[in-house]
Amino acid sequence: MATFSTLPSVSYTDIQDLTDQIRFQGTEGKIWFGEQRVMLMQVSSMAAFRREITNAMGIEQAKGFFLRLGYQSGLRDAELARKLRPNNSELDIFLAGPQLHSLKGMVKVIPLEIDIDQDNRHFYGELEWVDSFEVEICQTELGLLDEPACWSLLGYACAYASSFMKQEILFREISCRGCGDEKCIIVGKPADEWDDADSFRGYFKADPTVGELYDLQSELNSYNHCINNQEEQYYGIGQSLSYKKVCKMIDKAAQGKVTVLLLGETGVGKEVIARSVHVRSERSDKPFIAVNCAAIPHDLIEAELFGVEKGAFTGANQSRAGRFERANGGTIFLDEVIELTPRAQASLLRVLQENELERVGDNHTRKIDVRVIAATNESLAKAVEEGRFRADLYYRLNVFPASIPALRERIEDLPLLAEHFLEKFHREYNKRTLGLSDKALQACLHYKWPGNIRELENVIERGIILTDNNDIIDLESLFAIAPVQDNTKDNIINTEGNLVSSSNYSQQHWADQIFDNNLSLDEVENILIKSAIEKSNKSISGAARLLNMTRPTLAYRLKKANLLCQ
Ligand SMILES: [Zn+2]
């Protein structure tokens, strides 16, 4: 057996930045690690799970399974390390991985030799694993193996180092206590420096039969998507009762020619629904014209919708058809129909009642066959009451009203919608992120979404633009200003390893720093005052507001401390 030097040549930086990532929301049933939701799980359950998987799949398949399990976790931690230690040395950033592994209670990692040169794509790592949980499982539950047993730890190391180096790094466990060796030692090098890299890589690909099944499944899903969501639209995406009910109703209306009135807040997807009604109707091969009535100036709206004859008014230099004529045989979607002028309302009523229209400045009547789908986010009934909207037109439009629920009323549909937009923008930007972090999704589920689905779409597009390939979309990339979250009830781990309330902790943390730096109360006051003045652009009134004191009081203290503007 080979012997190894036990003197670690590499030392760790402080682990506090990593420990600070753990937050316990005991009453909420959640534990967070950075933006990832984690959970505490007994090693003994893991042991039982591993035994079952090994029995069901055989040792080779099970090994691949656990390597991939670790791999996923390593990918995410590499990202976290880069984020938490942006200004540290290459080595200190890299060592966050082994430190995270230890912090999570999986194994104590002693780096024996780490040689990193990202510019020259050079990597060599030799590390010792002490008290691996996977060895413990072998010793207590499964018995010793014939080969190294620290599978998920190894998967983690491969993913972490590869993601860190942005090239394929493979680690191998060259000796393992799980198979009777004295120590667990791993060695990592770029893949092309291993002779058997190809066969080892095989473990990181999922079981081919399982893979095929997944492929088939996703093919089927995308096929269904195509049927249900023509032109990448999100009509029909959702499982909430309220939304399913509306969809069922709209499906029924789609086939005939009945006028549909879509109600709901802005951004709930009224145009998407209107389009899907058209696509499902017998008119689907004829035009679909969408008009936002609020976007057209009042004095032009009649001509825009119903057409105009040459010379009808100044600027009408030639005759042209309006949107209704262009939609002939098909469907017209009138969004914000409440914005129509009285004359346009009268013309619309005529279309609905007589199937005919006259262009502005024309006395020739034209037959027209257009299905009308109207939408509004204001109450038409109220507009009728106030005399802003014709009652007879309202009754004509209100034959088949459908109320589209706001996103916050069907928030359980958000993950599906988010998934839909992720796919859409991955395609559009030719990118592949790892999707939303658990924390980001959590924030989405608690946000009120005043702009509804359209806002969600914009937020996800922003997230994808700001996130690199193979990274997770975090809260910060998703929202320019993160929705307010109450963290004061969280518990975190202090330096002694005890669980404490985060609000007390940050106060204590702050106080400890002051004591550690031997600062007097006067010095603390001066630092506070100076930084308030900096923050408020040297304005004394501004600084006084920040410090919650009056301007004269601050001026007095400035004078006393001899801090007056230098
Ligand atoms: Zn081992």
Report the C-alpha gap between 113 and 125 in whole angstroms: 6
Give pLDDT, residue 189: 95
Going from the Cα of 102 to the center of ligand 1, the distance in angstroms, rounded, reads: 14
Q: Is the pLDDT of residue 61 over 50?
A: yes
- Range with the lowest mean pLDDT among 60-64, 288-292, 400-404, 512-516? 512-516
Report the C-alpha gap between 411 and 417 in whole angstroms: 10
- Average pLDDT score, the chain: 86
Give pLDDT, residue 206: 65
What is the mean pLDDT of the segment spanning 496-520?
Answer: 73
Strand partners, 23: 32, 492
Amino acid at 135: V
Residue 3 pLDDT level (bands cut at 50, 70, 90): very low
What is the mean pLDDT of the segment spanning 356-367?
Answer: 91
Give pLDDT, residue 382: 93
Instruction: Check: CB of residue 402 under 8 Å from CB of residue 249.
Output: yes
What is the mean pLDDT of the segment spanning 437-458?
Answer: 91
Residue 464 pLDDT level (bands cut at 50, 70, 90): very high
Instruction: Check: CB of residue 286 under 8 Å from CB of residue 472.
Output: no
Going from the Cα of 387 to the center of ligand 1, the distance in angstroms, rounded, reads: 80
- Range with the lowest mean pLDDT among 6-10, 97-101, 191-195? 6-10
Going from the Cα of 70 to the center of ligand 1, the distance in angstroms, rounded, reads: 14
Q: Is the pLDDT of residue 535 over 70?
A: yes
Give pLDDT, residue 393: 95
Q: Is the pLDDT of residue 374 over 80?
A: yes
Residue 558 pLDDT level (bands cut at 50, 70, 90): confident
Q: What single-letter DSSP state applies at residue 141? A: I
Q: Is the pLDDT of residue 145 over 50?
A: yes
What is the mean pLDDT of the segment spanning 58-62?
Answer: 89
What is the mean pLDDT of the segment spanning 43-71?
Answer: 90
Going from the Cα of 63 to the center of ligand 1, the distance in angstroms, rounded, reads: 13
Instruction: Check: CB of residue 312 under 8 Å from CB of residue 355.
Output: no
Give the DSSP H or E segment for 261.
strand 260-263
Going from the Cα of 194 to the center of ligand 1, the distance in angstroms, rounded, reads: 20
Give pLDDT, residue 231: 46
Q: Work out the number of other CB atoms within 10 angstroms of the CB of residue 318.
A: 8
Amino acid at 101: H
What is the mean pLDDT of the segment spanning 8-18?
Answer: 78
Instruction: Check: CB of residue 414 under 8 Å from CB of residue 407.
Output: yes
Percent of the chain with pLDDT over 90: 45
Per-residue exposure over 294-312, b if at least 16 CB sit within 10 Å of its own CB, e if not: eebeeeebbbbbbbbbeeb
Q: Is the pLDDT of residue 528 over 60?
A: yes
- Range with the lowest mean pLDDT among 37-51, 90-104, 292-306, 501-515? 501-515
Report the C-alpha gap between 350 and 180 in whole angstroms: 90
Give pLDDT, residue 144: 82
Going from the Cα of 117 to the center of ligand 1, the distance in angstroms, rounded, reads: 27
Going from the Cα of 98 to the center of ligand 1, the distance in angstroms, rounded, reads: 15
pLDDT in tens, 196-205: 888 888 888 7
Give pLDDT, residue 556: 85
Q: Is the pLDDT of residue 433 over 60?
A: yes
- How many residues does this entry show for the chain? 566
Q: Is the pLDDT of residue 462 over 60?
A: yes
Report the C-alpha gap between 107 and 173 in whole angstroms: 14
Q: Check residues 516 and 96 and name the one with the higher pLDDT.
A: 96
Report the C-alpha gap between 54 and 357 in whole angstroms: 75
Report the C-alpha gap between 371 and 227 in whole angstroms: 23
Residue 330 pLDDT level (bands cut at 50, 70, 90): very high
Q: What single-letter DSSP state applies at residue 206? A: -
- Report in angstroms the alpha-carbon separations of 247 from 242, 253, 542: 9, 10, 54
Q: Is the pLDDT of residue 129 over 90?
A: yes
Going from the Cα of 354 to the center of ligand 1, the distance in angstroms, rounded, reads: 83
Going from the Cα of 182 to the center of ligand 1, the distance in angstroms, rounded, reads: 10
What is the mean pLDDT of the segment spanning 470-495?
Answer: 76
Q: Is the pLDDT of residue 223 over 80?
A: no
Q: Work out the number of other CB atoms within 10 angstroms of the CB of residue 243.
A: 21
Give pLDDT, residue 485: 62
Report the C-alpha gap between 202 and 302 in whole angstroms: 67
Which residues neighbour 203 within 8 Å (Cβ) at sequence distance 6 or greater?
Answer: 63, 64, 67, 68, 155
Report the C-alpha gap between 262 and 399 in whole angstroms: 11
Q: Is the pLDDT of residue 218 over 50?
A: yes
Q: Is the pLDDT of residue 369 over 90?
A: yes
Give pLDDT, residue 185: 97
Q: Check residues 11 and 21 and name the one with the higher pLDDT.
A: 21
Going from the Cα of 433 to the center of ligand 1, the distance in angstroms, rounded, reads: 32
Going from the Cα of 97 to the center of ligand 1, the distance in angstroms, rounded, reads: 17
pLDDT in tens, 72-86: 889 888 888 888 888
Report the C-alpha gap between 467 and 4 in whole angstroms: 42
Going from the Cα of 6 to the center of ligand 1, the distance in angstroms, rounded, reads: 16
- Please, how many CA atoms are within 13 Å of residue 396, restricted to the half-sphere of its CB? 21
Instruction: Check: CB of residue 393 under 8 Å from CB of residue 255.
Output: no
130: its two tokens: 């002490």
Give pLDDT, residue 80: 85
Amino acid at 61: Q
Pairing state between β 365-367 and 356-358: antiparallel
Instruction: Check: CB of residue 551 under 8 Å from CB of residue 542.
Output: no
Residue 4 pLDDT level (bands cut at 50, 70, 90): very low
366: its two tokens: 């034209």
Q: Check residues 220 and 340 and name the one with the higher pLDDT.
A: 340
- Range with the lowest mean pLDDT among 3-12, 146-155, 163-172? 3-12
Going from the Cα of 148 to the center of ligand 1, the distance in angstroms, rounded, reads: 6
Residue 527 pLDDT level (bands cut at 50, 70, 90): confident
Going from the Cα of 140 to the center of ligand 1, the distance in angstroms, rounded, reads: 14
Going from the Cα of 502 to the center of ligand 1, the distance in angstroms, rounded, reads: 36
Provide the H-helix boundaries in 436-520. 438-446, 452-466, 475-478, 502-516
Give the DSSP H or E segment for 40.
none
Give pLDDT, residue 566: 44
Q: Check residues 500 and 32 and name the one with the higher pLDDT.
A: 32
Q: Report which of 203, 205, 181 is spatially closest to residue 194, judged by C-alpha positions.
A: 203
Give pLDDT, residue 542: 85
Report the C-alpha gap between 74 and 32 in whole angstroms: 16
Percent of the chain with pLDDT over 70: 89
Report the C-alpha gap between 274 and 327 in whole angstroms: 14
Q: Is the pLDDT of residue 7 over 60?
A: no
- What angle, 0 to 180 degrees and rounded to 10, lies between the N-to-C axes of helices 551-560 and 521-535? 120
Going from the Cα of 130 to the center of ligand 1, the distance in angstroms, rounded, reads: 8
Pairing state between β 331-335 and 356-358: unpaired
Q: Is the pLDDT of residue 13 over 90?
A: no
Q: Work out the number of other CB atoms within 10 angstroms of the CB of residue 506.
A: 14
Q: Is the pLDDT of residue 455 over 60?
A: yes
Q: Is the pLDDT of residue 1 over 50?
A: no
Q: Check residues 412 and 232 and name the one with the higher pLDDT.
A: 412
Report the C-alpha gap between 185 and 111 in whole angstroms: 10
Q: Is the pLDDT of residue 65 over 50?
A: yes
Give pLDDT, residue 532: 86
Residue 515 pLDDT level (bands cut at 50, 70, 90): confident
Look up the pTM and report it: 0.64
